[in-house]
Amino acid sequence: MKIITKIINISMEAEHDIKDITQNVENFILESKLKDGIAVIFTVGSTAAVSTIEYEPGLMKDLPEALERIAPSNIDYEHHKTWHDGNGKSHIRSTIIGSSLTVPFTNGKLTLGTWQQIVVMNLDTRPRERKVVIQLIGE
């Protein structure tokens, strides 16, 4: 068994910037020469998230609208009283979606569905440089 780690940096716009990183993960698997294992994708930071989605324009609109219904912008969060930075909703949204994802790969290929891509989301109220850790465990 082998463990290989790579860190990628992604410049992201404020509030709901969503980037498809599927190709980054696939390329890393190819470079690693590993055939079977798991890819762990982790976003560093408490206002970012990682998940899978069909990366298409309709869902790029639908997901932020759904998050607005779940953790609205127009309410007061206790977090604001502590830090005065106005991003309480960003932390809640990140916690709900999650900061890591595990995807198996076999024969050097991710086992994603046809319309399933790996995405990183910046949920913060300001642009951020996001660090994403990709760790491969396999043989």
Angle, alpha carbons 86-16-85 (nearest 5°): 10
pTM: 0.95
Task: Please count the structural domains in the chain.
Answer: 1
Q: Residue 85: which domain range?
A: 10-73+81-138
Q: How many residues does this entry show for the chain?
A: 139
Q: What is the CATH number of the domain that holds 49?
A: 2.60.120.460
Cβ 63 vs Cβ 97: under 8 Å:
no
What is the structure's pLDDT at 84?
87
pLDDT tens per residue, the chain (139 residues)?
A: 999 999 999 999 999 899 999 999 999 999 999 999 999 999 999 999 999 999 999 999 999 999 999 999 999 999 988 888 899 999 999 999 999 999 999 999 999 999 999 999 999 999 999 999 999 999 9
